[in-house]
Homo-oligomer: A and B are copies of this chain.
């Protein structure tokens, strides 16, 4: 599974301060630590750290790719213009995080994905919000995928995200979100699109000391359904160990008695 590291986000104090101070070393430390812990892609999100979101996105992208040329990055914003600003300067392989299935936004962002040869993550929500039913999530995923393919994107460059809701508030949808991943992987297209989740949302509102348990348990369930990638905190060791073990049990990593160490050595 691809670990998309979530820590380079302006909502975290450390990153917010580094942005304010234009402290490249601190930004690069946040990146290096995530790579050490197994991140295969770095998500870059300005958050509310700066008034000039476009300029800040560009500075972050340039800062990271100068030190890590070729390392996969995700430009992350709900604003099209911030995503586009990041794409303009990004030389590394890049994922647009994210579009929705809203017609106007989808068309605009798929156009950018085609123009910049970027992968794109699509959230299965539209003008009507997040569907409560699994089949509606899959239908919105199909819409995103079909439009992407019509615009010349390969299905494997599309990451569909069924939009994880907190168990505390959307408990009856937790199974449906997993089943949406299964359907997307088996029923939409051959080759299938990729799947992704913003994992930590599952435990929003859960007492702090139990969030990791909820996150890693849900991640294992999603992996068993065919999940390809997740935006997570790579520093949560128990989460990553659970992921490695689930992949072992799915026969995606050859067994050895030191399978955790072997994985970390290969991916760190």
Contact = CB atoms under 8 A, between A and B. Distances in A.
A192 interface: no
A213 B241 contact: yes
Which of A213, A214, A258 neighbours the largest number of chain B CB atoms within 10 Å of its CB? A213
Interface string A121-163: 0000000000000000000000000000000000000000000
A172 interface: yes
A260 B212 CA distance: 13
Nearest to A254: B171
Contacts of A167: 248-249, 255
Contact of A250 (B174, B241, B251): B174
A221 interface: yes
A214 B245 contact: yes
Number of identical protomers: 2
A30 interface: no
Contact of A175 (B171, B241, B250): B250
A246 B221 contact: yes
Interface residues of A, number: 34
A257 interface: yes
Contacts of A250: 174-175
B217 A175 contact: no
Nearest 7 pairs of A and B residues by beta carbon: A217-B245, A221-B224, A220-B220, A174-B249, A171-B255, A171-B251, A224-B224
A160 to B, nearest CB: 19
A1 interface: no
A218 B218 CA distance: 13
26 contacts: A167-B248, A167-B255, A171-B251, A171-B254, A171-B255, A174-B250, A175-B249, A175-B250, A175-B251, A178-B224, A202-B249, A207-B258, A210-B259, A210-B260, A213-B241, A213-B245, A214-B245, A214-B249, A217-B220, A217-B242, A217-B249, A218-B249, A220-B220, A221-B221, A221-B249, A224-B225
A168 interface: yes
